Homo-oligomer: A and B are copies of this chain.
Amino acid sequence: MVPHLVTALTGPLLDLEEKILAATPAIERWFRLEWQEHTPPFYCSVDLRNAGYKLAPVDTNLFPGGFNHLASEMLPLSVQAAMAAIDKYCPDARNLLLIPEIHDRHPTYLDNVARLMQIFRQTGLHVRLGSLSPEITQPTPLALPDGNMLVIEPLVRSANGRRLGLKDFDPCTILVNNDLSAGIPDILQNIHEQSLLPPLHAGWALRRKSNHFTAYDEVVKKFGKLIGVDPWMLNPFHAKCGEVDFHSGEGLDCLASNVDAVLAKIRKKYKEYGIKDQKPFVIIKPDAGTYGKGIISIRDAAELKDLSAAQRDKMSVIKDGRVVSALNIQEGVPTFESIKDAVAEPVVYMIDRYVVGGYYRVHAERGVDQNLNAPGSQYVPLAFAQQHAVPDLRAKPGTAAPNRFYVYGVVARLALLAASLEMERTDPNPEVY
C-alpha cells in the first residue's frame, strides 16, 4: 500500500481516481502476485503526469536522485523498505558501497547521496562512497550544502580481481547511483560474487526507453482489464525511430511520419473522450539517456523542419557526450496540477516494492505541456496528510479523505513492474530459475 500524502489536487475525485480507489483490494492482491513472479528493481523513481482524464508515468528512473527532496518524516518508510531489500540480496551484509554520479552537476545531488547513505546506515550497514572518476585517487572530502562532509574514495578491485571495494572495505552490496550514460566502466565489469544493484544493463549505456515502454504496454493492458479502464488512461502512445541525425537530416522522415501517426492516434482518443481543451502534442526524447536533456515538445510534424540550430544541437548532444541516435516519440501528457500557479508533476519514490514517498517537481517558467526536469525546477516534498495516512474507505462518510496519492502510488508501481519485466528481458546473462 501507499502512504497518504497531501496532493495538490482538491475537488471531487476524477473518474480514474475513483475506479482505482474502489479497486484497491484487487489492485494490491494483483501486485502481490506479480511480485511473486518478478523481482522489483532495488530502487526507482517515476515521474508522473496527471492530465485529469489520464495519469501516466513519463520517466522511470532506475538510479534515482532526489531522495533529499522527500519529506524527512518519510525516512522510516525508506529505511524499513531498504531493510527488506537488503534482506533479499545480502542478509549477511556488513558493508554497502555506494557509487554516485561522477559530476555533481546538481548542487543538491550530494544531499541526495548523503540521504541515501543515511537510509542505509539506518538499516545497520557500514556505508562508504566509491568513485568511478579516475581523478579520485585518494579519499577526498566533498562538502555538503549544510557544512557536513562526505568522503569519496577510489574503487579497488580485490587481489584476485573478483571483488570490488575500497581500501579495507569489502562490501556485500554495491549500490550504483550513477546512470552509466557514459558507458560501463571496466571496473564494474565481471563482478560475480557481490550484488551489483541495479544491474549494469539498467544503465543508459545499455538501457533503452523503448524496451521499457513495450513492457509498460503489457503491464498496463493487464491492469486495465483488472480494473476496467482503457489502458490509454494510464499509458501514453509511443513510437520509435532507429537512427536520427538532426544535422544531416538522416531519419527525419521516419520521425515526421511517426509524429504524425502518434498525433493522429491522440486526436482520435481526444475525440472518443470529448477532450476539447487540449491540443495534442508529442515529446521527442532519446531512446537512451536521461537528465531531461535532448527532449522537445512538438505539436505538428512540420515543426521538425523549422527547428533552430540551437534546438538541433540540443537534440544531438545529451549526457556525458553521447550523441542521440534512436529517438522515441511519446504522447505528451499535459499536467493539470499546479502549486502556486507553477505547473507541477508528481514524482514517486520506491525502494523494493514499497512506495516510500514523493514530491512535486514544480517549474514556474514552464508550461503544462513541457518537460519540467530542467534547470529552474523546484521540489515540494509531499507531506503526510493531516489525518496522517488513515484514509478508510469504510469509515463514516466525511470522516476520511480519500488517499489521492494512492493513485499515484499505483501508477508508479505499474512503471516499477514494467521496469522489472524490462530488466528480465534485457538481461544479457539471464539466470535460469
Which A residues lie at the B interface, using CB under 8 A? 1, 3-4, 24-29, 31-33, 35-36, 72-73, 75-77, 79-81, 83-84, 86-87, 91-94, 118, 121-126, 147-149, 354, 384, 387-396, 399
Contacts and interface: CB of A to CB of B under 8 A. Distances in A.
A361 to B, nearest CB: 22
A150 to B, nearest CB: 10
A130 to B, nearest CB: 16
Nearest to A34: B91
A75 B390 contact: yes
Given A123-B28, A124-B25, A118 B76 contact: no
A48 to B, nearest CB: 20
A92 B33 contact: yes
A149 B73 CA distance: 31
A186 B392 CA distance: 33
A83 B80 CA distance: 12
Contact of A1 (B26, B123, B389): B123
Contacts of A393: 121
B148 A83 contact: no
A31 B148 CA distance: 31
A25 B94 contact: yes
19 contacts: A3-B79, A24-B124, A25-B125, A27-B124, A28-B124, A29-B93, A32-B83, A33-B91, A35-B87, A36-B91, A75-B388, A76-B384, A76-B389, A80-B81, A80-B354, A83-B354, A118-B390, A121-B394, A148-B395
Nearest to A86: B32
A79 B124 contact: no
A372 B147 CA distance: 46
A72 to B, nearest CB: 4
Contact of A32 (B27, B72, B91, B387): B91
B25 A390 contact: no
A416 to B, nearest CB: 14
A121 B390 CA distance: 10
Contacts of A390: 72, 75, 118
Nearest to A354: B80
A30 B391 CA distance: 36
Given A80-B80, A92-B33, A72 B25 contact: no
A116 to B, nearest CB: 12
Contacts of A75: 388-390
Given A87-B35, A396-B148, A29 B118 contact: no
Contacts of A73: 73, 384, 388-389
A353 B268 CA distance: 52
Contacts of A87: 32, 35
Contacts of A123: 1, 28
A148 B393 CA distance: 13
Given A29-B124, A72-B388, A80-B80, 16 more contacts: A1-B79, A1-B80, A25-B94, A25-B125, A29-B94, A32-B86, A32-B87, A32-B124, A33-B91, A73-B73, A76-B384, A77-B77, A83-B354, A118-B390, A121-B393, A148-B396
Contacts of A148: 395-396, 399
Nearest to A32: B91
Nearest to A27: B124
A34 to B, nearest CB: 10
3 smallest beta-carbon distances between A and B, as pairs: A28-B124, A72-B388, A3-B76
A149 B76 CA distance: 32
A81 B94 CA distance: 23
Contacts of A35: 87, 91
A54 to B, nearest CB: 23
**Among A24, A29, A33, A393, which residue has the most Cβ atoms of chain B within 10 A?**
A29
A118 B389 CA distance: 10
Contacts of A91: 32-33, 35-36
A396 to B, nearest CB: 5
A139 to B, nearest CB: 14
Contacts of A1: 79-80, 83, 122-124
